[in-house]
Amino acid sequence: MMKFVDEFRDPDKARALIRQIEVLLERIETVRERPLQIMEFCGGHTHTIFRYGLEQMLPEGIELVHGPGCPVCVLPMGRVDDCVALARRPEVIFTTFGDAMRVPGSKKSLLQAKADGADIRMVYSPLDALALARKHPEREVIFFALGFETTMPSTALTVLQAEREGIDNFSLFCNHITTVPTIKAILDSPDMQLDGFLAPGHVSMVVGERPFHFVARDYGKPIVITGFEPLDILQSLWMVVRQIAEGRCEVENQYARIVPEGGNRTGLDAVARVFELREFFEWRGLGSIDHSGVRMREAYARFDAERKFAVPNIKIADPKSCQCGEVLKGVIRPWECKVYGSQCTPETPMGALMVSSEGACAAYYHYGRISVEELKRRRAS
C-alpha cells in the first residue's frame, strides 16, 4: 500500500504549489500592506498544519488563522458541569467519546467525576452506548452527543435505531453544534479581517457544498472545501489565493474525492428527522451564537436527556483574561494572549483553544515553539 502514500508528501509538489502561491500573491495589491488572512475552520486542518509545519513554508503574504473547529474545545464549562450532574445520578450510565473526558468544567472534568465514583464509560460509537442500554435495561444510559455535522448523522441514526427497537432507557445529552452559523458569526464580527476560508472536509461530506454559498455570495469571500493531507491544504490555499488574484469569490471543492456536491442524503435525512436548530448555543471563547446548535425534536423527547432529567443548565462565564475570541477571529495570534503559556497551558487550560491538540493555542504550544519565534520575527520585520 505504500506506493500510494509517497505521492501526497511529494516535496516537489509542495514546493511547486508554494511557488505558484507566491506568483499569485505578487498580483494582489493589498498584500503589500498586510498579509492575506485565511482561516481554516476545522481542527483537523489545524492539526495537519502544525504537524507538517506548513505555516513556516508559506510565503510572507499569507497568514493562517486557526478557527474554532474543534467541538471539544468550544464546549462551555457549564455544559461539562451539566454532564457531571447527569453522570452522578445513581441510575445513570453516562457514555462519552474519550476526547471529552479531560475538558475542564468549573469544578471537575468527567475524568475526575469518574474517579469520584460516577459511572462514566468511554465509548467509540453511539451504537456502543445503545448496546449498553440493551444490556442494562434497569439503568438509564445517556450518550453525550458532541461534534459538528460530521457526527450528527451517527447520533441521529442511533436514536432512530433505538426508536425501532423500542429501547426506552437510552437518551442523548445533545451538544451538537453547526458549522455554517458559526462561520457567519465570525464574518459578522466587526473586528473580522479574514480574506478567505478553507471549509472543513468531513462536515462538507455530510452537508455538501450548498450551505457554504453564502460566504461567497453575501460576504464576498472565497471558500474552498479542503481535504486533510498536507498537499490538500497547500492546494486549497493556492485555490483561495487564485480566486482573490482573479477577483472571484465562489465555493470550490478541492476534496471532491470525498465530498459530493449534495452531501450525504441518508445522513441529512436522519439529522432532519431527529434534530432542530436551537435559537442559540453558548460556545467557550465565542459566547452565544444564534442557531449554532441543535436540540432534539419534540417527537423524540423521550430520547432527550435534557427533557427526561432535570439538567441544571449551568452557565459559567469564560474567565476575563481569556482572549480566545480574538485569537479565533485572527485579531491576535495565540502567543499574544496575556495568559498564553503562563496561566493557560495544555495541562491547565484556561481557554477553549488550549483544551485539545486541535485547538490553535495547544497546537502552538505543542508544535510551534520554534515557529512562534520565527513568526514573531517575521511579524516584526
Q: Which residues bind ligand SF4 (CB under 6 A)?
A: 322-324, 327, 334, 337, 339-340, 344, 350-354, 361
Residue 337, contacted partner among ligand SF4, other proteins, none, CB below 5-8 A by kind: ligand SF4
| Kind plus residue range of the DSSP H or E element containing 303 | none
- When the beta carbons of 46 and 169 are compared against other proteins, the nearer one is 46
Residue 344: phi and psi, rounded to 5, are: -110, 110
Q: Can residue 257 be called a binding residue for other proteins (CB under 8 A)?
A: yes
CB 363 within 8 A of CB 47: yes
Compute the distance between CA of residue 345 and CA of residue 156 in angstroms, rounded to an integer. 35
Compute the distance between CA of residue 344 and CA of residue 348 in angstroms, rounded to an integer. 6
Count of alpha carbons within 13 angstroms of residue 143, beta-carbon side: 29
Compute the distance between CA of residue 73 and CA of residue 355 in angstroms, rounded to an integer. 5
Segment lying near other proteins (by CB under 8 A), choices 106-114, 198-206, 238-246, 311-319: 198-206
Compute the distance between CA of residue 193 and CA of residue 219 in angstroms, rounded to an integer. 12
CA-to-CA separations, 243 to 197, 237, 250, 252, 308, in angstroms, rounded = 11, 10, 8, 10, 50
- When the beta carbons of 75 and 337 are compared against ligand SF4, the nearer one is 337
- Smallest separation (angstroms) from ligand SF4 to the CB of 321: 7
- When the beta carbons of 21 and 203 are compared against other proteins, the nearer one is 203
Compute the distance between CA of residue 353 and CA of residue 370 in angstroms, rounded to an integer. 19
Task: Find cell 456502543 and name the residue.
Answer: 128
- Out of 74, 144, 151, 360, the residue judged to bind other proteins by CB under 8 A: 151
Strand, coil or helix: 244: helix
Q: Which three cell numbers stand for residue 307?
A: 427533557
Residue 375, contacted partner among other proteins, ligand SF4, none, CB below 5-8 A by kind: none
Compute the distance between CA of residue 226 and CA of residue 242 in angstroms, rounded to an integer. 15
- Smallest separation (angstroms) from ligand SF4 to the CB of 102: 14
- When the beta carbons of 98 and 137 are compared against other proteins, the nearer one is 98
Q: Can residue 207 be called a binding residue for other proteins (CB under 8 A)?
A: no
Q: Which of residues 26-85 bind other proteins (CB under 8 A)?
A: 42-44, 47-48, 51, 70-72
- When the beta carbons of 25 and 129 are compared against other proteins, the nearer one is 129
Compute the distance between CA of residue 309 and CA of residue 191 in angstroms, rounded to an integer. 40
- When the beta carbons of 131 and 316 are compared against ligand SF4, the nearer one is 316
DSSP string, 44-78: HHHHHHHHTTHHHHS-TTEEEEEEEE-TTTT--HH
- Smallest separation (angstroms) from other proteins to the CB of 204: 11
Q: Can residue 228 be called a binding residue for other proteins (CB under 8 A)?
A: yes
- When the beta carbons of 148 and 212 are compared against other proteins, the nearer one is 148
CB 146 within 8 A of CB 100: yes
- Out of 265, 315, 338, 376, the residue judged to bind other proteins by CB under 8 A: 265
Segment lying near other proteins (by CB under 8 A), choices 21-29, 119-127, 216-224, 279-287: 119-127
- When the beta carbons of 23 and 131 are compared against other proteins, the nearer one is 131
Binding residues (CB under 8 A) for other proteins: these are: 1-2, 4-5, 7-8, 42-44, 47-48, 51, 70-72, 97-99, 121-128, 131, 146-148, 150-151, 153-154, 157, 161, 202, 205-206, 228-229, 257-258, 264-267, 270, 358
